[in-house]
Chains A and B, each alone.
Chain A
Amino acid sequence: MSTKPKIPTIWDIPREELFAPGHRMCQGCGAAILMRHITKALGKDAIIVEATGCVEVTTTVYPQTAWKHPWLHIAFENAAAGASGVEAAIKALKRKGVIPKDKKVKVVAIGGDGGTFDIGLQALSGMLERGHNVLYIVYDNEAYMNTGIQRSGATPYKAWTTTTPVGKVWRGEWRPKKDIMGIVLAHRVPYAATVNPAYITDLYMKVRKAVEIEGPTFIHAFSPCTPGWRIDPALTVTVARLAVQTGVWINYEVENGEFRVTTPVSRRKPVRDYLKLQGRFRHLTEEEIAEIQRMVDEEVERINRLVGKTVIGPVVK
């Protein structure tokens, strides 16, 4: 059965900052908002293992660091494997009496969509399948942004990237986004959830839950990228909120197999409202927007079927 803690308000979020300012992340970076609030939700007793990517290169330019947690970066594809090692070490050292048995330490792996959906998928699967007590968080900005906007398995249908350019033959990415949550849930993990930086209290509650639950847990975080998506840096949260309001992104959690939408949307906005703010979709024709609308409608229908009632409503213009 799913535990139903008190729904947190903005006043429940700790004031203490564990993610220091002065890093090199872009203006309006969605991942920066995510990291700030994820670290607040984790509290001090965590060890973070980070994959190579935007967040890694911009927050740890030697000799400076933005991290007040113990933090480890090894390489691109192995945050889950590195975290497995940290977790196993803590387990062994607790058993041998080197680390006090009651010392609370949560191991958290963080990777981008490239480091998770693509190059790090094998290590992630291994970590989930072996049952390590690790929370894995993917900040999904839907392309290889660190190297300059190349498509990844997380790039959405029709999005422009530098390796899926819009030309006479190509019209941006032609394959749908990989279903990472489906892949993770196939590992029968005790907890997996999606979060969005426009819904901070929802994010806070889910990270807290994922930390408390024993075993491998997973959070898929929506992460708008201002240069990569070609959006105004002032509109990061607006775009993130529109993703939820249009049904492009659905905030939900799956706890011990029980599926729950945490941000119901009674009346959806059309996907056009979400797409039109982003330069990566500026080439879309009316037909193409209609096609994306149909794809979103289908996904919403699937989610409503899973829940057993209409939690995401119809498009109302």
Chain B
Amino acid sequence: MAGKKKLPLSGNTAIAYAAKAADVDVISAYPITPQTTIVEKLAEFVANGELNAEVIHVESEHSALSAAVGASAAGARVFTASSSQGIALMYEIMFIASSMRLPIVMAMATRALSAPINIWNDHGDFMAASDTGWVMMMAHTNQEAHDDVILAYKIAEHPDVLLPVITAIDGYFMSHTIEPVEPIEREEALKFIPKKVTWRVLDPDNPVTMGPLGTPEWYYEFKRQQHEAMKKAREVFDEATKEFEKTFGRNYEPVEYFMMDDAEYALVAMGSVAGNVKAYIVREARKRGIKLGLIRVKLFRPFPAEEIAEVISNLKAVGVIDRALAFGSSYGGPLYGDTLSAAYIRGIDTPIVNFVAGLGGRPVTFHDIKTMVDATLALDGKTRKDVPKEPYFIGVRE
């Protein structure tokens, strides 16, 4: 593995390289900032003959995903990508893609949702997709963004899963930031994810009806099966990442633990902000003797509740950083909601506090992380009853 050529790639370009390596057959996408350069790069690959695929220049994201559903139903390996309003416009079809059990892979460069219109990064779009039945991953390096696309096809096309997968990166912070990436070549990618149609397809020689009407007599059973498929996705994720490590030498877990071995406190985070937290832990917290670690959630759906609850159970206090808001909810941020539930139903008493930060591209600074760490440390010796019932809104003008 070592000594392989690395290329300076943006997060978006790294994703495009992976879709090329996966030898996708159909690309159906609509431009939207900050995702656009993914499909630009893929169009360039097709234009140069480096990738043999049909590009559908759809007239909207709604049609992008609809065409992706059609192409997948016809037996093609399909790729699409979007952000923010594009995800919102796809929303209707996202449920249909997962319910029809089609292994579509969609890259998401996360971006705030309107209004006010804002092209900068937060997780509003990603979290809005969290109940659509898609497997959801979020990377925090460009290498991981690249590898996630390959992993995504491995999980999506597994006959026990057959669910669409979202591989997300933070808009701009990752989509437009260059890091060294070791691209997976087509041959090795296709050994890991062979082109094999594992799902039912539209074929005049073997006709099937797809997308029928499900009456109250049948609908519920479809949904129950989706729930089981999502559980299977977790098993397949674990198998796939193990095989990935053996093949490519890079290890991914549903949850990344950073300096957690001796940690007494932790922050839970997703995406690029995890990088800032890591830097803070090394450069500040640990130097001051604070035993702080990071729990980075990579796999968001299915949510790795077991692992997170277990690691939290040994800690004195935990802070969860949310880059989105669940308006009017009983908790505040969506990642906090999942973390709380994971801990509560396992009877864990560790105080867990919520921080909402970095909405609409507001930078999450070292100073902000210090504020969050201090508030977490303040819960030392307290129980969950003492946790503030409202999230801390970090870095906002009140």
One of A67, A77, A83, A96 near B62 (C-beta < 8 A): A77
The answer to whether B25 touches A96, judged by C-beta atoms less than 8 angstroms apart, is yes
Across the interface, name the chain B residue whose C-beta is closest to A85.
B70
Whether A75 contacts B75 in the complex (CB less than 8 A), given A62-B212, A62-B213, A88-B54, comes out as no
- Give the residue name and chain of the B residue nearest to A82 (CB): B70
A122, B96: Cα distance in complex, Å = 20
Contacts of A126 in B (CB 8 A): 58-60, 63
Asked whether, in the complex, the Cβ of B211 is within 8 Å of the Cβ of A130, the reply is no
A83 to B63 alpha-carbon distance, docked (Å): 10
CB contact under 8 A between A93 and B63, given known A72-B70, A126-B58? no
Residues of B near A99 (CB, < 8 A) are 75
Known: A81-B67, A84-B63, A85-B69. A62 touches B204 (CB 8 A): no
Query: Which B residues are CB-close (under 8 A) to A45?
Result: 204
Closest Cβ neighbor of B92 among chain A residues = A75
B389 at the interface (CB under 8 A from A): no
A164 interfacial by beta-carbon distance below 8 Å: no
Contact A98–B75 (Cβ < 8 Å): yes
Q: Which residues, 172 to 223 on B, are CB-close (under 8 Å) to A?
A: 195, 202-204, 206-215, 218
**Is there contact, CB below 8 Å, between A62 and B207?**
no
Does A70 make an interface contact (CB < 8 A)? yes
Kindly report which residue of chain B lies nearest to residue A79, judged by CB atoms: B66
The answer to whether A74 and B211 touch (CB under 8 A), given A81-B70, A82-B69, is yes
Tell me whether A33 is interfacial, beta carbon within 8 Å: no
Report yes or no: B71 in contact with A89, Cβ–Cβ below 8 A. yes
Q: Determine the distance from Cα of A88 to Cα of B76 in the docked complex, in whole angstroms.
A: 9
CB distance from B69 to the nearest CB of A (A): 5
Q: Is A230 an interface residue (CB 8 A)?
A: no
Which residues of A have CB within 8 Å of B69?
74, 82, 85
Bound CA–CA A98/B54 (angstroms): 14
Q: How far is the CA of A126 from the CA of B63 in the complex (A)?
A: 9
Interface pair A75/B204, CB less than 8 Å apart: no
Tell me if B203 and A70 are in contact (CB < 8 A): yes
Q: Specify which chain A residues have a CB less than 8 angstroms from the CB of B209 in the assembled complex.
A: 60, 65, 67, 70-71
The answer to whether B204 and A92 touch across the interface, beta carbons within 8 angstroms, is no
- Chain A residues with CB under 8 Å of B214's CB are 62
Out of B63, B204, B210, B215, name the residue touching A46 (CB < 8 Å).
B204
Quick check: is B286 within 8 A (CB to CB) of the other chain?
Answer: no
Interface centre among B68, B92, B213 (most CB of A within 10 A): B213
Q: Which residues of chain B are within 8 angstroms of A88 by Cβ–Cβ distance?
A: 26, 28, 54, 56, 67, 70-71, 76
Are A91 and B54 neighbours in the complex by a CB distance under 8 Å? yes
Q: Report which residue of A56, A63, A92 has the largest number of chain B beta carbons within 10 angstroms of its beta carbon.
A: A92
Interface centre among B25, B57, B63, B206 (most CB of A within 10 A): B63
A81 with B204: CB separation less than 8 A = no
In the complex, B93 has a CB within 8 A of chain A = yes
B357 within 8 A of A: no
Is the pair A86, B58 in contact by a Cβ cutoff of 8 Å?
no
A-side interface size class = 35 or more
Bound state CA distance, A86 and B211, in angstroms? 14
CA–CA, A303 and B10, complex, Å:
58
Q: Which residue of A lies closest to B56 (CB)?
A: A88
Once the chains are docked, how many angstroms separate the CA of A89 from the CA of B72?
8
Q: Across the interface, which residues of B come within 8 angstroms of A81, CB to CB?
A: 58, 62-63, 66-67, 70
A35 shortest CB reach to chain B, Å:
14
Tell me, rounded to whole Å, the shortest Cβ–Cβ distance linking A21 to chain B.
16
- Expressed in whole angstroms, the minimum distance between the Cβ of A236 and any Cβ of chain B is 24
Interface presence of A68 (CB below 8 A): yes
Residues of B within 8 A of A62 (CB): 212-215, 218
Q: Does A166 sit at the interface, judged by CB under 8 A?
A: no
CB <8 Å contact, A72 and B211: yes
- Please judge, given known A-B contacts A89-B26, A96-B52, A125-B59, whether A84 and B70 are in contact too, CB under 8 Å: yes
Q: How far is the CA of A63 from the CA of B209 in the complex (A)?
A: 10
Q: Give the Cβ gap from A104 to chain B, nearest Cβ, in Å.
A: 8
Q: Which parts of B86-135 form the interface with A (CB within 8 Å)?
A: 92-93, 96, 100
Contacts of B100 in A (CB 8 A): 74
A89 to B63, CA, bound (A): 15
B207 touches A69 (CB 8 A): yes
Interface residues of B in 1-51 (CB under 8 A from A): 25-26, 28
**Among candidates B62, B202, B212, residue contacting A86 with C-beta atoms closer than 8 Å:** B202
Asked whether A177 is an interface residue with its Cβ less than 8 Å from the other chain, the reply is no
CA distance A80 to B70 in the complex (A): 10
Which chain A residue lies CB-closest to B52?
A96
Complex formed: what's the CA distance from A123 to B54 in Å? 18
Q: When A61-B212, A69-B204, A72-B210 are in contact, do A92 and B25 touch as well, CB less than 8 Å?
A: yes
Report whether A105 and B62 are in contact in the complex, using a CB–CB cutoff of 8 Å: no
> A149 on the interface (CB 8 Å rule)?
no
Q: Is the CB of B54 within 8 A of A122?
A: no
Once the chains bind, are B93 and A74 in contact (CB under 8 Å)? yes
Closest-CB distance, B187 to chain A (whole angstroms): 16
- Whether, in the assembled complex, B73 has its beta carbon less than 8 Å from a beta carbon of chain A, the answer is yes
Q: Is the CB of B57 within 8 A of A73?
A: no
In whole angstroms, how far apart are the Cα atoms of A87 and B214 in the complex?
26
B74 within 8 A of partner (CB) = yes
Cβ of A89 and Cβ of B74 under 8 Å apart? yes
Interface residue A47 (Cβ < 8 Å from any Cβ of B) = yes
Q: Hey, which chain A residues are within 8 Å of B67, CB to CB?
A: 81-82, 84-85, 88
Q: Is B137 an interface residue (CB 8 A)?
A: no
Cα–Cα, bound, A68→B78 (Å): 26
Is the Cβ of B96 less than 8 Å from the Cβ of A86?
no
Return chain A residues, CB-CB under 8 Å to B195: 98
> Could you name 20 residue pairs across A and B whose Cβ atoms are closer than 8 Å?
A60-B212, A62-B212, A69-B204, A70-B206, A71-B207, A72-B210, A73-B212, A78-B93, A85-B69, A85-B74, A86-B73, A92-B54, A92-B71, A93-B25, A99-B75, A123-B60, A126-B59, A126-B60, A129-B59, A130-B56
In order of increasing CB-CB distance, the 9 nearest A-B pairs are A85-B70, A85-B67, A126-B59, A73-B211, A81-B63, A89-B74, A78-B66, A89-B76, A81-B66
10 additional A-B pairs beyond A62-B213, A122-B59, A130-B57, beta carbons within 8 Å, are A72-B211, A85-B68, A85-B70, A85-B72, A85-B78, A89-B26, A92-B52, A122-B60, A123-B63, A126-B59
A residues sitting closer than 8 Å to B (CB atoms) are: 44-47, 49, 56-57, 60-63, 65, 67-75, 77-78, 80-93, 95-96, 98-99, 105, 122-123, 125-126, 129-130
Residues of B within 8 A of A (CB): 25-26, 28, 52-54, 56-60, 62-63, 66-76, 78, 92-93, 96, 100, 195, 202-204, 206-215, 218
